[in-house]
Structure 1
Amino acid sequence: MFQRILLADDHPVVRIGVRAIIEVHALGQVVAETGTVDELFQLLSEQSFDLLVTDLSMPGTQHIDGYAMIERICRNHPELPVLVLSMTSNASVLRTVYASGVLGLLDKASSMAELPAAIQAAERGSAYISASLRRQLAQAGFRPPGYRALSPREAEVLRLLAKGLRVKDIALRLNRGITTISKQKSDAARKLGLRNDVELFDFLRREGFSG
């Protein structure tokens, strides 16, 4: 569980909502909040945090865009997990922000129901991207590292699992051994940062996995 979470968003109602979700799900302790870029940089320079949940764009006297803000944070605090709340669905922007080193991208326009899963993934050191944003990125030809690491056979197994087939059914269909299919399933889950079958099937259902 995260002990020192920093929330950054220029809309107080968003900070209240995020804090409430974190507290209800016992995901960690929020110790500081801010609504400006200037104060965000100041807090990061004066205190230590183990998770930052931040809006992509906030006001401030420094007048820097969202990407520049995130890039500076990731460069100066490479050990800090960063989850970004974004209103944009522009794949180019999302891709650039993700490449700067953030651990998660959440669609601010949709439900915050994915926030607990994103924070839990961050605790494992795993990346998390909202399903809606993942679709935008996929349409632009971008796949996060976990996807790219999957072998064709591992991706094939996940596609069939997503369709509801059991391991023994997949083994029969693909003419592979049950042990082989089980290993490909567990290897794929490991590459995606998923710890067990519950997390794997939740991921497949949430993402509408198609490989």
Structure 2
Amino acid sequence: MIQIVIADDHPLLREGLRRILEFEKGIEVVAEVGDGQGAINIARKMKFDILLMDLNMPGVNGLEAGRVIRREYPNIGILVLTVDDSDEKILQVLQIGVAGYLLKDVDSKTLVQSIRKVFSGEPILSPAVTGKLMEQLSNPTPLRDNCGLSDREMEILHYVVQGSSNREIGTSLFISEKTVKNHLSSIYRKLSVDDRTQAALKAVKLKFFVLD
């Protein structure tokens, strides 16, 4: 059972999300809160799997709450659901290592699929957010210093930035998912990051790629 906490300051939206999710097999909404401090408090009181959270909330906002929860409870998957698609906010949120970033115009089917993917360990980015990352990579000059990454690791990192899953990367490169995971572990170590989201963000900041 995937246990979910909803954090949003709009009661009607929380109710709508609960109604969507309560009909899904294997998904249970265990709590609702209206601000970031409430999300932090509930994380400290009970165990759950996924925090479905807005960013723009009164008091402690979603970004601040996300930082605290990621630090104290790294096993909780944070799936951001927001209207804010600004470049700055996207990069700030990805930097703290959230599991996914969706915009509120997402359809219910995609939302449910995203929750299940986050629960299984796959990162989720909406097409609009992925597009923002691609824009960051559109014009930079590649750096000679690639942090010691091999050609294969750079290839895999490129797929990670594009939002590909381990399975998709393996299929594209004709290697096993296990091999992909081994390469990712090496990439994380060389980039001094903890997960694929932070790796993608660092690749953007270091301007590793030029996209056609």
Q: Which TM class, normalised by the smaller chain length?
A: 0.5 to 0.7
> Structure 2 counterpart of 1:54, which letter?
M
For CA contacts below 8 A with separation 6 or more, give which structure has more relative contact order: 2
Cα 1:83–1:149 change in 2 (3 A) is: farther
Q: Is the 8 A contact 2:4 2:31 kept in 1?
A: yes
Q: 4+ runs of 1 displaced by more than 4 Å?
A: 185-192
* Aligned residue in 1 for 2:155: 151
Matched, 1:100 2:93: no
| Structure 2, unaligned runs of 5 or more | 139-151, 160-169, 182-210
Structure-to-structure mapping, 1:82-93, within 5 angstroms:
82-93=78-89
State the superposition RMSD in angstroms.
3.3
Structure 1 residue runs of 5 or longer lacking an equivalent are 143-147, 156-180, 193-209
Match of 2:34 in 1: 35
**Counterparts of 2:39 and 2:56, CA distance in 1:** 12
Q: Summarize the Cα distance change of 1:130–1:150 in structure 2 as closer, same or farther, 3 Å threshold.
A: farther
User: What is the match of residue 166 of structure 1?
Assistant: none
1:15 aligned onto 2:14:
yes
Alpha-carbon spacing, 1:45–1:135, altered in 2? closer, same or farther (3 Å): same
- The SS at the match of 1:58 is coil
Change in 2 beyond 3 A, CA 1:67/1:187: same
Structure 2: distance between partners of 1:5 and 1:46: 14
Aligned to 1:137: 133
Identity %: 27
Task: Report the 3-state secondary structure (helix = DSSP H, G, I; strand = E; otherwise coil) of the residue aligned with 1:10.
Answer: coil
1:40 deviates by 2.0
Q: Secondary structure at the match of 1:151?
A: helix
Shift of 1:72: 1.5
| Alpha carbons of structure 1 residues 189 and 114: separation in structure 2 relative to 1, 3 Å | farther
Size of the aligned set, in residue pairs, is 160
Residue 20 and residue 65 in structure 1: after superposition, are their counterparts in 2 closer, same or farther (change >3 A)? Answer: closer
Q: Give the TM-score, by structure 1 length.
A: 0.64
Aligned counterparts of 2:174 and 2:21: Cα–Cα separation in 1: 31
CA contact (8 A) 2:18 2:29 kept: yes
The corresponding residue for 1:145 is none
One-letter amino acid of the structure 2 residue matched with residue 17 of structure 1:
G
Quote the residue 1:58 is aligned against: 57
Query: 1:11 Cα shift?
Result: 1.0
Equivalent in 124, 127, 133 of residue 123 of structure 2 = 127
Structure 2 match to 1:114: 110
Residues 5 and 31, structure 2, Cα contact 8 Å, conserved in 1: yes
Alpha-carbon deviation of 1:27? Answer: 4.4
Structure 1 residues 114 and 189: CA distance shift in structure 2, 3 A:
farther
